[in-house]
Structure formats: C-alpha cells, structure tokens
C-alpha cells in the first residue's frame, strides 16, 4: 500500500504502486488531462514515473509556471526532432529552456528564418501525433555506444560521472536529457520559431560554430498571440531605434560596446544625474570620484585580479601593470583608509558615479543594455553592526523615491549564504538578520533565495517593472565582509578600540547606460516634460511671423525651457506631425491672433490643444510641472 499526501494535507491510499497520472485520475479526469508532471518530496519528475513509497506529491498542471517551463523543454525536443527530419546530417548539442521560450544549438548548414515554415510544419505533425515521451536510464558505457557517431553528445557524456544516464524518446527521436517532460508531444499546442543566430560550441571561439534556433511555446494559441503582440509593442519601443531617431546616442565600430552620447542624449543624462545627486544629498551621502586606472597590486589585494582578470582591460605605464577599473569598490576602500575614523562619523555614506570597463564578448553586446564601458552609481556605506537595519531601510526608501519618479514599480529578493563563502557564522547571522529586519520593517513582500548570496555577504536585489511588465534587475544592496578585511579598514569605537566596520555596497540605477535604455523603452520615447531633451517647439504659420516666433522661443529659453524654432518653408500640418513624431511635449503655433494678443496656442502630447493661453499662465504651469517632475502629460485642466 502506498500513501500519498497532497499539498492541501489530504491523503490517498493505493493498493498498487501508482504513477502521478493515477493520482491525478483518482481526483478527476479533468485534472489528469491538465497534468504535466509531478513533484515528489521536492523533486520534479515525469507524470508516468511510479511512486514506489509513501510520499508528498504535488501535481503540476498547465496552469503552473513550472508546467510551462517543462512543456517548453519538450518543445525544444519537438523542434530538434523536426530539424533532424528536415536535415538528416544535423548534429544536436544542447537545447535548454530560457526566459520566454527555448533554443537548441545544432551543427548544421546555415539556415535563415525563411527555413522556419518547413521546420514548423514538421513540428505540427509531431505535435498532432501526440507521441508519448518516455524516459529510460542506461549505463555510461551504453550511452557512449548509443552516441558513438555524435561527437557533441559523446563529449557531454564523457563529462558526466559514472552511473545511470537518462534518455528521453518520442518515436524515432531520442535525446540525452535529465528531464522531466510532458506526457506526450500533444501538450505543445502553440509554438513559433523566433530567430536563428550563430553560437560557438561551449562558448569557445576556437570550436565549431553552431546554428542556435530560438522558439517559444504556450499551452494555448491565445497566450501565444498575446506574447507575439507584446513582442511587437516591445519592438516599437526598441531603445536603439528610438535613440537613433531622437539623436540621443550612437555606436561606432571604432569603439565596440562603448556608446557615444549626442547633445540631446546628454541633456537627459544630466537631468537624470541632477535628480540622482539631489536625492542623495538629501539622504546624507557625500559624492566621491576615484581614478579610472589603478595598479595591479590593488586589484590583487581586492581579489579581482585572481577572480575577474579575463574581464579587465590592462595597460603598462613606466613598467608597472595597471588595470582599468571594472568596478569602483577598491578605489572607495583607499578613500576610506586615507585617514583614521571614529564611531562618531558612522554611518559614512560615500557615493560615486564611476566609469567602469568590462570586457564582454562581442556576441552578447546589446545596445545600452549590455556594453563594455558604463557608469555605475555605486555607494559604499561604512557603519557599525547596530546600524545595519536603519541603513538598509534608508537605502530601500531612497530607491523607492528614485524609481517612483520614473513610474517604475519593483519587487525585492533576499539572497542568503552560499555553500562557498568567507566569514564566520556569527558574521553571517548578524548580516543576514540585519537585512531581514530591514525588509520586515520596510513592509513590502520579498522573495527568499536561500544560498544565492555573494561569497562575501548576503544581498537584497531590486527588480524594477516597466510599462510592459518586463522586470529588470538594477538596484542591489550587498553586505560585504571581504573588502574591509582585505584592506584592513577600521574605526575607533567608544572604548577607544579598533573595530572592523560593516560595509554595504549598493546601487540604485545600476548601470546608468542600461537604465537610460530602460527609460527609453518604458516611456516609448514619450518622456515626461522635465526629462524631455526638447520640451517645446515654436511653429510660425508663415515666413512673416518667423521673427516674432523667434522672440517667443527666446522668451521660453530665458524662462528655462528647452525650446526650438521650426521656421522651415513647410506646411504647418507637416511641421506639427513631425514634432509629434519626435515626441516633443509642447507644440506652440504662432499665427496673427497670437502675435496680436500676445497669447499662445499650445498642443500637448495627450492630444489637447489650448488656444489663447496667457504666457504667464503657460510658463507658471510648465515650471510647476518640471519642478515637481510630474509623470503625466496632461498640463492644463479646466
């Protein structure tokens, strides 16, 4: 007899050894049809696997996030099977699940998206056949014999420890895989191949270049359609396309992965930094600046030379090795150590917007989202153990204010001590308790990631959510027990004893370049008035009114507005349309009535037009809007 305990605490007994499917059917046939896999005592396995002893069982259905991930793994197998049918000389490597889909790396002749319909047609046949997907385990020798003609699979098997190795089969197709998988191919109801790119075997440029085919899959066509519509909207918001159209930034072959910011981009950059500095001054931070290049011995002392060397750019000056900084922290340690400190000075909050360089592979560079040169809004907070909770809480509240100005929500994750770490149990307990207490006091729900902290301390990650619901990890709060030790940082306590300070690394925006790109896509290029690179454009309706329009533009500029004049010999409608496409928040048209009255006609991006608006009312309203950094585009209300 086998006793099964379900998540709600109810129990079921089976005289014979049941499978997960048997458990589901004992509840209802509808549930059995929706079941994808099961979790037994915390391990996710196939639904058809026998449950040979008493166990706690959770059934995973098509409504569960884990179910979608399992199905996408099976979809990767369906795609690989289809590719082998279309191209029998193809050699398979790996096919993992990724966010929003899956991919498979395949050694085959180069293909393009024009080849996708043929592969998808074969996938549809495989799905329609509802082929059972079954697991079998073999010895390592049997696995090597099975894949004797497939070098990639042989290499993977040789890397595995001796013991049982699992295969998954669906009719003529078999793949080396840990699983689990859906019961049959019919679960892959809605899918689409998305793109193809090159990828080196095991990310090694000296090895074979493969074809990486990306796809996505859902349990129904409605969800797939919604995702494809989301991608279309995301494509419209692409920060590279908008940045080029609005002349914000560009990239050049002479400096791969290193953005060039244009005048309009620098306007936004400086506005963002002005706001950042204003908030940090208010929160009690001082601003520092450290050199971009420092001697090798510093990076050896910090541990970066040993652990991060391959990502660092180096140089030699006067026969001494230097490295361009990949992060600001070691320079911040030297600043702290420049003079003795008393407990009375703590907490000491030192912020730096530092330019750092990291050598990223060319294949992963992606606009402003992944670059080789970027600015980090680092801060290092030095404090006593009893100040941890208050300082963490202060960082959380500062971050909330900064994100809120841009209309960005966020969620929190707490990551605790990993298996490999430095420091004593007591140090970790103090640090983790401080983070947890601050989160509890903050009052917002957070996700706990056990064992996912940095080797030198626990951390809180802040994931922002943009207008499309996408999440981006930008802010982080890390307690560090390594660098204060490595650099022998101290302060003198009340009893005149030297103590080691507790140190926080934290960023709010993270990479400013990346955050800039996120803002472009979040606002779709339609920025709040305070952040817009051009806030107003003045359009005379004919050449005769151009001189008067120029005086209006000058008055706006004197009042602090970033205003332009468009006096081209084009129709007014065309100039209005171009200003709207450029997302200029305020469009002022100047005709004979406006000149005679001295009033303004103003069109805003929310589609409203106000005629006969007094200049003082206009300027006061806009000034208040900018001063308060309002998000809404509605300026004037009746």
Residue 561: closest CA among 528, 539, 532: 532
**Which tens digit of pLDDT belongs to each residue from 493-513?**
999 999 999 999 999 999 999
| 399 — pLDDT class (breaks 50, 70, 90) | very high
Q: 77, 181, 375, 505: which one is catalytic? A: 505
Q: At what angle do helices 388-405 and 425-442 cross, to 10 degrees?
A: 40
Instruction: Please check the confidence at residue 442 and state whether its pLDDT lies above 60.
Output: yes
Q: 459, 522, 553, 603: which one is catalytic? A: 459
| 420 — pLDDT class (breaks 50, 70, 90) | confident
Paired strand residues for 375 = 355
| 434 — pLDDT class (breaks 50, 70, 90) | confident
Q: What is the mean pLDDT of residues 118-147?
A: 96
Over pLDDT 90: what percentage of the chain? Answer: 82
- Does a cis peptide bond (omega within 30 degrees of 0) precede residue 134? no
Higher pLDDT, 431 or 533: 533
| 427 — pLDDT class (breaks 50, 70, 90) | confident
Task: Respond yes or no: is residue 553 known to be catalytic.
Answer: no
Name the 3-class secondary structure at 546: helix
Q: 72, 380, 506, 562: which one is catalytic? A: 380
Query: What CA–CA distance (Å, rounded) separates 225 from 271?
Result: 39
Non-local (6+) Cβ contacts of 144 within 8 A are 154, 157, 158
Task: Respond yes or no: is residue 459 known to be catalytic.
Answer: yes
Instruction: Please check the confidence at residue 637 and state whether its pLDDT lies above 80.
Output: no
| 161 — pLDDT class (breaks 50, 70, 90) | confident
Q: 34, 46, 105, 378: which one is catalytic? A: 378
Mean pLDDT of the chain: 93
Instruction: Please check the confidence at residue 326 and state whether its pLDDT lies above 80.
Output: yes
Domains annotated for the chain, with CATH where assigned, are 2-61 (3.10.20.30), 68-231 (3.30.980.10), 249-290+325-523 (3.30.930.10), 291-324 (no CATH), 536-627 (3.40.50.800)
The pLDDT value given to residue 565: 97
**Which tens digit of pLDDT belongs to each residue from 211-267?**
999 999 999 999 999 999 999 998 999 999 999 999 999 999 999 999 999 999 999
Q: What is the mean pLDDT of residues 372-389?
A: 94
Q: Residue 595, Cβ neighbours under 10 Å: how many?
A: 17
Instruction: Please check the confidence at residue 175 and state whether its pLDDT lies above 80.
Output: yes
Token look-up 């179910």 returns 67
Q: At what angle do helices 116-128 and 65-86 cross, to 10 degrees?
A: 120
Instruction: Please check the confidence at residue 633 and state whether its pLDDT lies above 80.
Output: no
Q: What is the mean pLDDT of residues 297-317?
A: 89
Q: 81, 246, 376, 427: which one is catalytic? A: 376
**Which tens digit of pLDDT belongs to each residue from 275-288?**
999 999 999 999 99
Give ∠ CA 520-522-526 in degrees, rounded to 5. 60
Instruction: Please check the confidence at residue 102 and state whether its pLDDT lies above 90.
Output: yes
Task: Respond yes or no: is residue 376 known to be catalytic.
Answer: yes
The pLDDT value given to residue 638: 56
Q: 35, 177, 329, 474: which one is catalytic? A: 329
Query: What CA–CA distance (Å, rounded) separates 286 from 277?
Result: 9
Q: What is the mean pLDDT of residues 581-597?
A: 94
Task: Respond yes or no: is residue 337 known to be catalytic.
Answer: no
Task: Respond yes or no: is residue 124 known to be catalytic.
Answer: no
Q: Are 111 and 165 in contact (CB under 8 A)?
A: no
Over pLDDT 70: what percentage of the chain? Answer: 100
Task: Respond yes or no: is residue 301 known to be catalytic.
Answer: no
Instruction: Please check the confidence at residue 365 and state whether its pLDDT lies above 80.
Output: yes
Task: Respond yes or no: is residue 35 known to be catalytic.
Answer: no
């Amino acid at each position: 007899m086998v006793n099964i305990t379900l998540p709600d605490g109810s129990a079921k007994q089976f005289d014979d050894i049941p499978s997960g499917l048997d458990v589901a059917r004992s509840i209802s046939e509808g549930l059995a049809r929706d079941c994808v896999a099961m979790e037994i005592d915390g391990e996710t396995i196939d639904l058809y696997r026998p449950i040979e002893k008493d166990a706690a069982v959770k059934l995973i259905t098509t409504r569960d996030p884990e179910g979608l991930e399992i199905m996408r793994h099976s979809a990767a197998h369906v795609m690989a099977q289809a590719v082998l049918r279309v191209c029998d000389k193809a050699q398979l490597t790996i096919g993992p699940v990724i966010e929003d889909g899956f991919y498979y790396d395949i050694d085959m002749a180069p293909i393009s998206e024009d080849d996708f319909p043929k592969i998808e047609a074969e996938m549809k046949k495989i799905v329609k056949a509802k082929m059972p997907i079954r697991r079998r385990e073999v010895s390592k020798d049997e696995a090597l014999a099975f894949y004797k003609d497939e070098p990639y699979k042989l290499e993977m098997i040789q890397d595995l420890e001796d013991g049982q190795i699992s295969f998954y089969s669906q009719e003529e197709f078999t793949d080396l895989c840990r699983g689990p998988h859906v019961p049959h191919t019919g679960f892959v109801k809605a899918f689409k191949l998305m793109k193809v790119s090159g990828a080196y075997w095991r990310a090694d440029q000296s090895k074979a270049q493969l074809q990486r085919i990306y796809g996505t899959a859902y349990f129904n066509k409605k969800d797939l359609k919604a995702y494809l519509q989301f991608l279309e909207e995301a494509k419209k918001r692409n920060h590279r396309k908008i940045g080029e159209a609005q002349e914000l930034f560009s990239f050049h072959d002479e400096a791969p992965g290193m953005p060039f910011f244009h005048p309009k981009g620098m306007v936004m950059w400086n506005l963002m930094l002005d706001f950042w500095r204003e908030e940090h001054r208010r929160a009690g931070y001082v601003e520092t600046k450290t050199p971009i290049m420092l001697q090798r011995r510093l990076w050896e002392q910090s541990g970066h030379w040993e652990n991060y060397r391959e990502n660092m750019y180096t140089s030699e000056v006067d026969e001494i090795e230097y490295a361009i900084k990949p992060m600001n922290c070691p320079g911040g340690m030297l600043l702290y150590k420049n003079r003795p400190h008393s407990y009375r000075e703590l907490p000491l909050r030192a912020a730096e917007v530092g330019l750092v360089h990291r050598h990223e592979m060319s294949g992963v560079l992606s606009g402003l989202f992944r670059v080789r040169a970027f600015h980090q809004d680092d801060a290092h907070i030095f404090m006593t153990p009893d100040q941890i909770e208050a300082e963490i809480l202060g960082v959380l509240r500062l971050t909330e204010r900064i994100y809120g100005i841009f209309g960005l929500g966020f969620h929190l994750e707490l990551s605790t001590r990993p298996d490999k770490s430095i420091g004593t149990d007591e140090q970790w307990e103090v640090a983790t308790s401080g983070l947890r207490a601050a989160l509890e006091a903050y009052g917002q729900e957070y996700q706990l990631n056990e064992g996912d902290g940095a080797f030198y301390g626990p951390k809180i990650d802040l994931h922002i959510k943009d207008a499309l619901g996408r999440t981006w990890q930008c802010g982080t709060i890390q307690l560090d027990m390594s660098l204060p030790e490595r650099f022998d940082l101290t302060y003198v306590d009340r009893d005149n004893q030297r103590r080691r300070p507790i140190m926080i690394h934290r960023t709010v925006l993270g990479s400013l370049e990346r955050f800039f790109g996120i803002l472009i896509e979040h606002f779709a290029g339609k920025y709040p008035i305070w952040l817009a690179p051009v806030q107003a454009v003045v359009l005379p309706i004919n050449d005769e009114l151009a001189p008067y329009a120029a005086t209006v533009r000058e008055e706006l500029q004197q009042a602090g507005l970033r205003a332009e004049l468009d006096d081209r010999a084009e129709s007014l409608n065309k100039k209005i349309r171009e200003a709207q496409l450029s997302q200029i928040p305020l469009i002022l048209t100047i005709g004979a009535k406006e000149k005679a009255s001295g009033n303004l006609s103003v069109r805003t991006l929310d589609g409203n037009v106000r005629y006969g608006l007094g200049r003082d009312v206009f300027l006061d309203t806009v000034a208040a809007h900018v001063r308060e950094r309002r998000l809404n585009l509605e300026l004037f209300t009746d």
